[in-house]
Amino acid sequence: MRLPPKFCFHQITQPENQEFLTNKNERLALLKQHFPNCFDKHGAFLPEKMAEILQSDGIKAQKESYSLNWLGKSYAKMLKDTLPETLLAENIEHNQKPENANSENLLIQGDNLEVLKYLKHAYKNQIKMIYIDPPYNTGSDGFVYQDDRKFTPEQLVELGCMDLEEAQRVLEFTSKKSNSHSAWLTFMYPRLYIARELLRDDGVIFISIDDNEQAQLKLLCDEVFGEENFVGSFIWNNKYTVSNDTDISYQHEYILCYSKSRTIFSLNLLERTEKQNKDYKNRDNDPKGAWKATPIHARSGTENGIYTIEFSNGITWTAPTGRYPRYSKARLQELYEEGALYFNKNGGVDKKTYLSEVRNGVTCGTLWGYEEVGHSHGNNEEVADLLGKGIFNDPKGITLLKRILQLATSSTDNHLILDFFSGSGTTAHSVMDMNKDDKGNRRFICIQIPEKSKAEAIKAGYPTIFDITKARIEKATAKIQAENPNYSGDFGFKIFQTEPNFSFAEIDGFQTALDTDFNPTQTELPNTQNAMLSDEQLHTLLTTWRVYDGSRLTENVQTIDLAGYTAYYCRQHLYLLESGFGSDNVKALIERLDNEPKFIPERVVLFGENMESAMQKELAQAVKTYANKKGLNNLSVLARY
């Protein structure tokens, strides 16, 4: 197992009965654990055995099903499980600024598939809402799929469960700039798959799309999220004018919505508007407050249900011809006695429906008009006001995103919102603006690749889309603060970015360890010597490894002094990265373990290239002895190279 490529690691002391699994075989291990009789003696899975078990438990097993297939699907499934090819670095200068130091918001620069693979270790099952506005594959939006990963056809046959002919065809279309449906689906599948892993059980994803890929996206999401978890397809009327230079003027986009689990998730109600409340008035000074008149008759009913009633005020009522009573005679009498009937001057009778009794909010419809959630022209003006005209075309607007945030999040639950196609930064802007409105504590994670900007943006000082995202967040923050001087929310954000893996072969005198399985009984560990890495590179290693080990990017890292040697402690992991670790430092570590009750690491992770083999063994033996003495079965030492 490699982490990341060009690094390997060896388990020097391993906890009893603990198996360290790669992403590729986690699901296989779960199946073998719970359904061992569904595998033959060679380890092959027997689906018919599984079907028998399910049927015996009363669960229907469908032999035939409908599925979406395309050239590259096997490759896309393989990509979701491959490890990142980059490292994850911190923008220390930005993050140490006072406004950012304690922020829980994140802006990450890099290919979103690479970043998502890191996030799934630290944020799995923790994201409440995802919104993405991916490329629409219109042919003019710039989307092309080109994969720089280097595989031979033979490697794909082995890794991707495909035959040689398919492997060759996949490599052909992934190596050239393609914008076919197959290319787009190959691009989207691994990203959506990991997105689902990040969602909480009550989490939800919203995806903007138009007619070019809407049909394919719906089928793809049915497969990834499950057809039963489809929430709805919202239609946004995003244009308020009709274009007369073509035979059809598209005035809408779609927003597909899927939940992680439809049995748990439900959309929030929308706030009632002044327009919805305007008909509620208190015409007769009723102590129950404002009300509106609703008929006491209905279109359907039976002749036997028709009656005549005379109230004590002398007014007689019967249902109009062709109509039927909505209430029984007895119930209508009760409403009269409760003062819940209104007698107009023409002798008509209506029931008072009180505003105070109306549902606290309204159900969201699937048609969203531009007068409610904005339009494309207004969204362009919104960005232009912050960054200048022509910097970014056709962004989504904060009114639209705030509608989505209102449907899917709350102000009080520290909800995490993810956008991995951040573009102009609308999602981050909307989260901060929504928090300002309802004093909420939502936090955002935004990901954007440093794609080259168009000429106008470059001229204005924004060479990449990432620079636009960053500037939008900063300028939106300044605007909200200026307009709301008494509001104090989280207006900062931390920046991280993916970086190329260190090429140790280019570092003079550096010998890379072989990526082989470690045998705890072996007498020789890989040859090691001090790696000529800068402090910044060692910090990048720390960031990469701690996220892989489950630490959130915004978590604090504690420095631990071990007799003059600086170690780093985060999420029950102690990291030994720097050179110079010796016997005195081993002794200091054991003393600290023994004397500080709150210092309870579960794993000691060392950078093998900066620690001699003999010292690795001495450390491992000392930790093992201490763990056995204290009964700490989970304490282990891991060497990474």
Listing DSSP states for 539-587 in one string gives HHHHHHHHHHTT--TTS--EEEEETTEEEEEETTEEEE-SS---HHHHH
Verify that 108 and 234 share a domain, yes or no. yes
Distances in Å between the Cα of 401 and the Cα atoms of 127, 269, 398, 409, 495 are: 16, 15, 5, 11, 22
Residue 485, C-beta contacts closer than 8 angstroms, at least 6 positions apart: none
Q: How high is the mean pLDDT in each 10-residue block of the chain (641 residues)?
A: 47 40 64 86 83 78 79 92 93 96 97 96 97 93 82 82 86 85 95 98 98 96 96 96 88 97 95 89 93 94 93 94 94 96 89 90 94 95 95 96 98 96 98 97 98 95 97 97 94 96 45 31 49 88 96 96 97 96 97 92 94 94 93 90 81
Residues 6+ apart with CB under 8 A from 478: none
In a domain, 60, yes or no: no
Q: Tell me how far apart the terminal alpha carbons of the chain are, to the nearest angstrom.
A: 11
CB atoms within 10 A of CB 109: 24
Whether residue 399 is found in the same domain as residue 418: yes
Beta strands in 122-251 (DSSP E): 127-132, 199-209, 230-237
The range of the structural domain enclosing residue 476 comes to 86-144+182-269+363-498
205 occurs within a structural domain: yes
Burial grade of 140 (CB within 10 A; 0-12, 13-18, 19 or more): exposed
CB 132 within 8 A of CB 445: no
Are the C-beta atoms of residues 493 and 428 closer than 8 Å to each other? yes
For residues 125 and 238, membership in a common domain is answered with yes
Residues 486, 531, single domain; the answer is no
Do 240 and 124 belong together in one domain?
yes
Q: Are 373 and 343 part of one and the same domain?
A: no
pTM of the model: 0.86
| Torsion sign, CA atoms 117, 121, 123, 125 | positive
CA-nearest of 226, 230, 283, 281 to 255 is 230
User: Alpha-carbon distance 535 to 553, whole Å?
Assistant: 19
Show which of 312, 327, 357 is a domain's final residue. Answer: 357
Other C-beta atoms lying within 10 Å of the C-beta of residue 285: 6
For 362-380, b where at least 16 C-beta lie within 10 A, e where not — what string? eebeeebebeebbbbeebb
Is residue 282 in a domain? Answer: yes
Asked if residues 115 and 58 have their Cβ atoms less than 8 Å apart, the reply is no
- Strands, sheet with 341-343, edge to edge from the N-terminal-most edge strand: 291-295, 349-354, 341-343
Please tell me whether residue 78 adopts helix, strand or coil conformation: helix
Strands 573-576 and 603-607: parallel
Amino acid at 274: E
pLDDT score at 529: 55
Burial class, 415, CB count within 10 angstroms (exposed 0-12 / middle 13-18 / buried 19+): buried
Same-domain pairing of 322 and 374:
no
312 falls within a domain? yes
Same domain, 237 and 129: yes
Q: Is 176 part of any domain?
A: no
Reduced to 3 states (helix: H, G, I; strand: E, B; else coil), residue 1 is: coil
**Counting Cβ atoms within 10 Å, is residue 345 exposed (0-12), middle (13-18) or buried (19+)?**
exposed
Please check whether residue 225 lies inside any domain of the structure. Answer: yes
- Note whether residue 74 is domain-resident: no
Q: What is the DSSP string of 388-441?
A: -TTSSSSPPPHHHHHHHHHHH--SSS--EEEESS-TTTHHHHHHHHHHHHHT--
Q: Would you say 417 and 128 are in contact if contact means Cβ atoms under 8 Å apart?
A: yes
Quote the tokens at residue 556. 């604090």
Last residue of a domain, one of 357, 392, 424: 357
Token pair listed for 399: 């009114």
Which of 298, 325, 357 delimits the end of a domain? 357
Is position 407 within any domain? yes
Pairing of strands 558-562, 565-570: antiparallel
* Strands (DSSP E) found in 456-516: 494-500
Co-location of 240 and 297 in the same domain: no
**In contact, 240 and 377? CB cutoff 8 Å:** yes
Regarding whether 298 and 237 lie in a shared domain, the answer is: no
Q: Is 9 helix (H, G, I), strand (E, B) or coil?
A: strand
We report the CATH number of the domain holding residue 232 as 3.40.50.150
425: left (phi over 0), alpha (psi -120 to 50) or beta: left
Q: Are residues 200 and 339 in the same domain?
A: no
- Domain tally for the chain? 3
Do 312 and 336 have their domain in common? yes
DSSP 510: -
pLDDT at position 34 is 83
Q: What is the pLDDT of residue 519?
A: 34
